[in-house]
Amino acid sequence: GAVVSQHPSWVICKSGTSVKIECRSLDFQATTMFWYRQFPKQSLMLMATSNEGSKATYEQGVEKDKFLINHASLTLSTLTVTSAHPEDSSFYICSARGSTEKLFFGSGTQLSVL
Amino acid sequence: DAKTTQPNSMESNEEEPVHLPCNHSTISGTDYIHWYRQLPSQGPEYVIHGLTSNVNNRMASLAIAEDRKSSTLILHRATLRDAAVYYCILRSSNTGKLIFGQGTTLQVKP
């Protein structure tokens, strides 16, 4: 089946630093990628939708200057959490959709900001 | 985006069938019904999806009501590895987005 690789799986950083998370579709071209965040014991919350070669569309309440999304190719999207603070600590998950209806998810990145 | 309603939790015995219900009364004609499941500290896993007709795959079956306002995910023989949070989601053909609800936590007893 299709595979979405997400790295790193976990990261610890100091407050004020930036963190980049990569999401790659390994065996299909992802025309659309989605970024979610998930707090403990809660559901996934959609942050933004990105289409290859165009600007991401952010959900209401998500700061586009804080969560920079780049989808430069059909197999790679990145999420950069800029000037991270402890409240940004969360589980970040990417997903990718190719030419079928199915959506494939990465394994997630646990971000801890000290 | 149309919403779904699922029970918070369900229990099943190992090797018995499980029927996970989902209500989506505001579904539009072009919304696909998706099911995903998530284990702790992992990304969700695709289970099945459908539009109007019932669907079967190696993991599960999806029964869709004739009016499409509800659906049921059927696991034919639950195993301990099926214990997870199951999400029923409508994917809008207009926006393409999958908006997750709270899901159903399935416990499987040996």
Chain B CB contacts of A46 below 8 Å: 97-100
pLDDT of residue B54: 95
Q: How do residues B9-60 score in pLDDT, each as one tens digit?
A: 999 999 999 999 999 999 988 899 999 999 988 999 999 999 999 999 999 9
Peptide bond into A8 cis (omega under 30): yes
pLDDT of residue B47: 96
| Smallest CA–CA distance from B31 into chain A, residue | A101
CB B97 to CB A34 under 8 A? yes
Residues A79, B91: Cα–Cα separation, whole Å: 23
Q: Please identify which residue in the block is written with the tokens 């997870």.
A: B84
B3, B35, B98: best to mutate for the A interface, most A CBs within 10 A? B98
A102, A105, A110: best to mutate for the B interface, most B CBs within 10 A? A105
Chain A CB contacts of B36 below 8 Å: 103, 105
**Average pLDDT in the B63-83 region?**
96
Residues A97, A25: Cα–Cα separation, whole Å: 9
Query: What 3-state class would DSSP assign to B74?
Result: strand
pLDDT of residue B73: 98
pLDDT of residue B25: 93
Chain A CB contacts of B99 below 8 Å: 46
CB B46 to CB A95 under 8 A? no
Asked if pLDDT for residue A90 goes beyond 70, the answer is yes
Residue A99 pLDDT class (50, 70, 90 cuts): confident
Q: How do residues A18-54 score in pLDDT, each as one tens digit?
A: 999 999 999 899 989 999 999 999 999 999 999 888 8
User: At residue A70, what is the residue type?
Assistant: N
Six token digits for residue B13: 């015995």
Q: Which residues contact A66 (CB under 8 A, 6 or more apart)?
A: A81, A82, A83, A88
Q: How many CA atoms lie within 13 A of B2 on its CB side?
A: 25
Q: How do residues B82-104 score in pLDDT, each as one tens digit?
A: 999 999 999 987 778 888 889 99
pLDDT of residue A55: 87
Q: How many CA atoms lie within 13 A of B92 on its CB side?
A: 11
Q: How far is B40 from chain A (nearest CA, A)?
A: 9
Distance from the first to the final alpha carbon of chain B: 38
Tallying the residues shown for chain B, one arrives at 110
Name the residue with higher pLDDT: B105 or B99.
B105
CB A46 to CB B97 under 8 A? yes
B99, B102, B104: best to mutate for the A interface, most A CBs within 10 A? B99
For chain B, list residues whose CB is within 8 angstroms of any CB belonging to chain A: 32, 34, 36, 38, 41-46, 49, 87, 91, 95-103
Six token digits for residue B7: 């029970």
Q: Which residues contact B68 (CB under 8 A, 6 or more apart)?
A: B24, B27, B33, B52
